[in-house]
Chain A
Amino acid sequence: NAGVTQTPKFRVLKTGQSMTLLCAQDMNHEYMYWYRQDPGMGLRLIHYSVGEGTTAKGEVPDGYNVSRLKKQNFLLGLESAAPSQTSVYFCASRRRSRGLAGVSTSYEQYFGPGTRLTVT
């Protein structure tokens, strides 16, 4: 199993350009997440998905769009890149696990290797 993979690993964009970051997982996980990591800020949630065809906003969604057309893929799009979007982007996934009374029994997230994006 490859686990969680991200494409590309590095990218430099000019302000106003667009691009799509691809996250893929081969673990049949239901949940997928996009985080960004900036120096001194920890990781912050951009968007997330609880299943194929569903997406929702996280803490810092402005300037990003996402799609989850296939269960194994979660795409993050930047329509018009800005220097403030210079960051390292991490994708993560987790499985849905239900125990008694519908309580989730597994919260562990598996992270991809990251995409380093620079917007000039």
Chain B
Amino acid sequence: GENVEQHPSTLSVQEGDSAVIKCTYSDSASNYFPWYKQELGKRPQLIIDIRSNVGEKKDQRIAVTLNKTAKHFSLHITETQPEDSAVYFCAAIDPLNSGYALNFGKGTSLLVTP
């Protein structure tokens, strides 16, 4: 099955700086890569996703890049704000098994200090 690795596990940045979280996946057949933000005690919330036919996608201060050849994708948050502090999860779809279930990375705890 799909294996998703996520780094770093914790990340601390100053307000206004950029944050980058990286993920790798193992199954070359994976074709959908969402990023979720989870605040303490809350459900995961989709913040951005990318399909395998696209190399980059942006939504205001958030961007995701995908390198299919290297099998890695990254989340970029620019001009970070304290409210960006949360745990971020990357995921990949296994298109051949598990009913298109998500395989998650272990998460990155992002802290943005004022």
- A44-93 CB contacts (< 8 Å) to partner B: 44-45, 48-50, 56, 58-59, 90, 92
Task: Give the shortest distance, in Å, between A55 (CB) and chain B (any CB).
Answer: 10
Q: Please report the C-alpha to C-alpha distance between residue A40 and residue B105 in the assembled complex, in whole angstroms.
A: 10
Q: Please report the C-alpha to C-alpha distance between residue A93 and residue B107 in the assembled complex, in whole angstroms.
A: 21
Chain A residues with Cβ below 8 Å from B9 are: 40
Contact of B99 with A107 in the complex, beta carbons under 8 Å: no
Contact of A43 with B43 in the complex, beta carbons under 8 Å: no
Chain B residues with Cβ below 8 Å from A35 are: 102
Q: Are A59 and B43 CB-contacts (below 8 A) given A42-B107, A107-B100?
A: no
Task: Give the shortest distance, in Å, between B90 (CB) and chain A (any CB).
Answer: 9
Contact of A112 with B32 in the complex, beta carbons under 8 Å: no
Contact of A45 with B98 in the complex, beta carbons under 8 Å: yes
Interface size class on chain A is 20 to 34
Contact of B101 among A48, A90, A104, A114 (CB under 8 A): A48
> Does A2 belong to the interface (CB within 8 Å)?
no
Contact of B43 with A42 in the complex, beta carbons under 8 Å: no
When each residue 38-61 of chain B gets 1 if its CB lies under 8 Å from chain A and 0 otherwise, what string results? Answer: 000011111001000000000000
Task: Give the shortest distance, in Å, between A98 (CB) and chain B (any CB).
Answer: 12
Q: Please report the C-alpha to C-alpha distance between residue A23 and residue B6 in the assembled complex, in whole angstroms.
A: 29
Contact of B106 with A59 in the complex, beta carbons under 8 Å: no
Q: Are A48 and B106 CB-contacts (below 8 A) given A107-B32, A113-B43?
A: no
Q: Report the 8 A-B pairs with minimum CB-CB distance, sorted nearest first.
A: A42-B104, A111-B43, A107-B32, A42-B106, A43-B104, A48-B99, A50-B99, A45-B101
22 contacts between A and B (CB under 8 A): A31-B99, A31-B100, A33-B102, A40-B9, A42-B104, A43-B89, A43-B102, A45-B101, A45-B103, A48-B98, A49-B99, A56-B99, A58-B98, A59-B1, A104-B95, A107-B32, A107-B49, A109-B34, A109-B46, A112-B43, A113-B43, A114-B43
